[in-house]
Amino acid sequence: MKQPFESVVAVHGTTVLRVCRSLLGADDADDAWSETFLAAMRAYPELPETANVEAWLVTIARRKAIDVHRAAKRNPLTVRELPEAPTALGVPGADDTDLWEFVGRLPEKQRQAITYRYLVGLSYAEIAAILGGTVDAARRASADGMKNLRSTYPGATSKGERP
């Protein structure tokens, strides 16, 4: 028997938010999170009981992030700078915004591989299936991304620490 959808949101909500924040940044992450769970709620009754719910939600979140990127390309910005700085009140992990900046500067494949591996905890095989490559390519992208972060992010002091 499938668990109620409310339980799915409670269990996997944080993971989906991490994926959205990593792929989109803090500004668009909340909207993508909401859109992810709206789409998931519509499709949940048809989801097989044996499905990996977390991987399914991450895939939906990734597609919603792609939608946001596509929409952003169609909508021109009217100003170069926002007049106010965004607030960090109520945002989990908001004290590490500089880390998100450095993650955002990584090449797309590295950023995605790090997100899925270290924030979501997916295996390299699952990452390869999402990104459309081989397991070795997913492992390499993750390793290269971590190497780039360790060399550029000031908070990463040693090789054994995660940024």
Mean pLDDT by 10 residues, the chain (163 residues): 87 91 88 92 91 92 90 72 58 63 87 88 90 92 90 66 45
Angle between helices 5-24 and 26-43 (to 10 degrees): 150
CA 153-60-105 angle, to 5 degrees, is: 20
pLDDT for position 86:
59
pLDDT for position 151:
87
The token pair at 14 is: 């944080």
115 secondary structure, DSSP code:
I
Total structural domains in the chain? 2
If asked whether residues 81 and 105 sit together in one domain, one would say no
| Residue 90 within a domain | no
If asked whether residues 78 and 100 sit together in one domain, one would say no
If asked whether residues 80 and 100 sit together in one domain, one would say no
> Of 32, 54, 85, which residue sits at a domain end?
85
| Structural domain of 151 | 95-163
pLDDT for position 137:
93
pLDDT for position 85:
64
| Residue 49 within a domain | yes
Between CA 22 and CA 27 the distance in angstroms is 11
pLDDT for position 156:
61
100, 105, 82: which is closest to 17 by C-alpha? 100
If asked whether residues 81 and 116 sit together in one domain, one would say no
> Of 85, 115, 140, which residue sits at a domain end?
85
If asked whether residues 140 and 161 sit together in one domain, one would say yes
| Residue 15 within a domain | yes
If asked whether residues 100 and 80 sit together in one domain, one would say no
pLDDT for position 93:
55
CA distances from 26 to 55, 98, 101 (A): 22, 11, 10
Query: Which SS3 state, helix, strand or coil, does residue 51 take?
Result: coil
Q: For the chain, give the number of residues.
A: 163
If asked whether residues 78 and 133 sit together in one domain, one would say no
> Of 40, 63, 85, which residue sits at a domain end?
85
8, 11, 30, 10: which is closest to 20 by C-alpha? 30
